[in-house]
Amino acid sequence: MTTKPIPKPAAKPEYTVIAGRKLSKGQLAYEQERAKAAGKSLEAWITAKIKAEEAEAQKAKPKPVKKPGLISRLLDKAHKPI
């Protein structure tokens, strides 16, 4: 009888928390390059990125439902039983 070795669980990625965000090593390196290209510190870059995402989320909110027009209301009323 041969015994198979027990597989080791995959190593969990190490995260770094910056400005309330968890970043893996790869994400951290990418964001550092983006910050460097923008001429900002990493902290300032991520803070600006978060603000931009929040502003985008505000724009993406659905518009309020529009009240039906006169013709639609008259047609709905006409289809109701007496």
On average, the pLDDT of the chain sits at 85
What are the pLDDT digits (tens) for 26-63? Answer: 888 999 999 999 999 988 988 899 899 889 888 877 88
pLDDT over 90 at 73, yes or no: yes
Q: How many CB atoms lie within 10 A of CB 33?
A: 11
Q: Where are the domains of the chain?
A: 12-49
Whole-number percent of the chain with pLDDT over 70: 89
Helix ranges restricted to H, 3-81: 25-38, 42-59, 70-79
In this prediction, residue 72 carries a pLDDT of 94
In this prediction, residue 17 carries a pLDDT of 78
pTM: 0.54
Amino acid occupying residue 56: E
